[in-house]
Amino acid sequence: FSLKEDAEVDVTLHDMLGRMITRARGPFGQGRNTVRVDTAGLRAGVNLMRVAEVGVDARPATHMLTVVR
């Protein structure tokens, strides 16, 4: 994901039933950022990754993460 400026970001990974699987929260820098996800404990299928700037009243970005076994 990309940021226009440095920001505190909340990244959550959810299964298709809406259950949160994992969370990463912290400062991220301006420009392109990456979050690594260990898929070893995930079932095969589609998951949703939600990326939201903390304290910003804006719609969070949602990305699909597909795990193939």
pLDDT band for position 9 (cuts 50, 70, 90)? very high
Residue range 11-53, pLDDT digits in tens: 999 999 999 999 999 999 999 999 888 899 899 999 999 999 9
Cβ(8)–Cβ(55) below 8 Å: yes
Cβ(26)–Cβ(53) below 8 Å: no
> What pTM does this model have?
0.82
Cα–Cα distances (Å) from 11 to 64, 69, in that order, read 13, 24
pLDDT band for position 56 (cuts 50, 70, 90)? confident
pLDDT band for position 58 (cuts 50, 70, 90)? confident
Element housing 56 (H / E) = none
By CB atoms closer than 10 A (0-12, 13-18, 19+), residue 37 is middle
